[in-house]
Amino acid sequence: LSERLSGVFDRLTKQGALSEDDVKTALREVRVALLEADVSLPVARDFVKAVQDKATGQAVTKSVTPGQQVVKIVHDELIAVLQGEGEPGALRIDNAPAPILMVGLQGGGKTTTTAKLAKRLKDRDNKKVLMASLDVNRPAAMEQLQILGTQIGVDTLPIVKGENPVQIAKRAKTQASLGGYDVYMLDTAGRLSIDEELMAQVEAVRDVANPRETLLVVDGLTGQDAVHTAENFDSRIGITGVVLTRMDGDGRGGAALSMRAVTGKPIKFVGLGEKLDALETFEPDRIAGRILGMGDIVALVEKAQQTIEAEQAERMMKRFQKGQFNMNDLKMQLEQMMKMGGMEGMMSMMPGMGKMSKQMNDAGLDDKILNQQVALINSMTKRERANPQILQASRKKRIAKGAGMEVSDLNKLLKMHRQMSDMMKKMGKMGKGGMMKQAMK
């Protein structure tokens, strides 16, 4: 696959903005890669379509081909979709005892994951955990959980023959309250495939337990089937998160993307082996790299982008040292600030910048108007940007109007530029620009 890809990408060497054709050509290969990773067909199709709209027109980084650029965009988008909102691995388990309901098909890894998660909660979060097996269909299943509990030092609800899952769930709740447990985990029975009886049973358990978290445990290697399973469990039971198991296998894990796309629910953990400590917080970038299988291209584009940013910073520093700081530099600074989490984020990273930060604040510069400042600079001519002193009243009016603002706004910007420019000069004289070099990192 990799060879075929580089073949296609080598042929696309045009620079500039990504054309629709560049994007389409590259995305054909991306689509194949997604399908090979077992992403379900409709999910792959939708994903590619969304990226196509997003990527067309974006700039191509120097020394990178359009195809490579598209791969990088795909990679970033993949991470964004996989990540979703919220912190991976976080569980809502306040209000003890917090019930966690584990659901999924038989053999998906529910019982193992119940034990793994219990161990994690006990070891990492210092929680007192009770586990209960509701799998009345197979007596061996209850014993399986009991044995795992002994291995990890976590209590299990004593087995009482003849109870149904709802009765067990109620008993677990009572026991958890009486015993001062922080969390109790309900490991439900699975079926080989979705059926009405199973769903009705899980639903009844859900209604008595009122779980804080309902985690769907799915075999990460099942690909297409996983989507169907997730759809069913989510619409019928309502899940709060997903655990993907068997990610230690050599599959590419496309189920992760399908899961996210279909349920919109967070993937919280991945199972990476049969051992009881083989459970990790879900890491979107790792899975994205694996699904796409184009890590070398992504790394290459990232390197190119870093190189260019470093070159720009270097050029700017040299100019500061010579006492040159024009509107283009200011624009770059403003754009950089927006990228770096706005004003506060930027200033907090720059040693000795407290004073400048105050000046900028005095000038009325907050994150909201960074954009307006850039718009003002954009409506200046090249000559004016290099030399803002030449601006006359009539031009000022025009520029302000062009950016949809008042002349007073432009004057504020010019004042800020003068102040910054003075500071840059002083700093340049202070020698070697050591401080700026530090700040630009």
> Which residues bind to ligand GDP, rule: CB under 6 A?
104, 106-112, 190, 245-246, 248, 271-274, 278
| Residue 379 tokens, joined | 């409506």
How far apart, in whole angstroms, are the C-alpha atoms of residue 264 and residue 284? Answer: 14
C-beta closer to ligand GDP: residue 68 or 112: 112
How far apart are CB 146 and Mg ion at their closest, in Å? Answer: 12
How far apart are CB 151 and ligand GDP at their closest, in Å? Answer: 12
How far apart, in whole angstroms, are the C-alpha atoms of residue 309 and residue 274? Answer: 44
Q: Does 114 bind Mg ion (CB under 5 A)?
A: no
- Is residue 278 part of an annotated ligand binding site? no
How far apart are CB 120 and ligand GDP at their closest, in Å? Answer: 13
- Is residue 249 part of an annotated ligand binding site? no
| Contacting Mg ion within 122-181 (CB under 5 A) | 141
One-letter identity of residue 397: K
Residue 401: other Cβ atoms inside 10 A: 13
C-beta closer to ligand GDP: residue 272 or 400: 272
How far apart are CB 258 and ligand GDP at their closest, in Å? Answer: 18
| Residue 294 tokens, joined | 């184009």
Q: Quick check: helix, strand or coil at residue 103?
A: strand
- Is residue 108 part of an annotated ligand binding site? yes
C-beta closer to ligand GDP: residue 273 or 295: 273
How far apart are CB 143 and ligand GDP at their closest, in Å? Answer: 12
How far apart are CB 156 and ligand GDP at their closest, in Å? Answer: 14
By a kind-dependent CB cut-off of 5 to 8 A, residue 97 interacts, out of ligand GDP, Mg ion, none, with: none
**In which order are the strands placed within the sheet that holds 129-133?**
155-156, 129-133, 183-187, 98-103, 213-219, 241-245, 267-271, 279-281
Distance set, CA 172 to CA 154, 175, 196 (Å): 14, 5, 25
Q: Does 111 bind Mg ion (CB under 5 A)?
A: yes
How far apart are CB 186 and ligand GDP at their closest, in Å? Answer: 12
C-beta closer to ligand GDP: residue 182 or 219: 219
User: 151 with 109: CB under 8 angstroms?
Assistant: no
By beta carbon distance, the residue nearest ligand GDP is 271
How far, in whole angstroms, is CA 427 from its chain's centroid? 38
Q: Quick check: helix, strand or coil at residue 184?
A: strand
How far apart, in whole angstroms, are the C-alpha atoms of residue 361 and residue 366? Answer: 7
DSSP letter string, 222-271: -THHHHHHHHHHHHHT--SEEEEE-TTSSS--THHHHHHHHH-PPEEEEE
| Residue 138 tokens, joined | 């197979």
How far apart, in whole angstroms, are the C-alpha atoms of residue 259 and residue 215? Answer: 13
- Is residue 104 part of an annotated ligand binding site? yes
- Is residue 106 part of an annotated ligand binding site? yes
- Is residue 245 part of an annotated ligand binding site? yes
By beta carbon distance, the residue nearest Mg ion is 111
Q: Does 112 bind Mg ion (CB under 5 A)?
A: no
By a kind-dependent CB cut-off of 5 to 8 A, residue 253 interacts, out of ligand GDP, Mg ion, none, with: none
By a kind-dependent CB cut-off of 5 to 8 A, residue 293 interacts, out of Mg ion, ligand GDP, none, with: none
- Is residue 45 part of an annotated ligand binding site? no
Binding residues: 104-111, 187-191, 245-248
- Where does this chain bind Mg ion (CB under 5 A)? 110-111, 141
Binding residues for GTP: 104-111, 187-191, 245-248
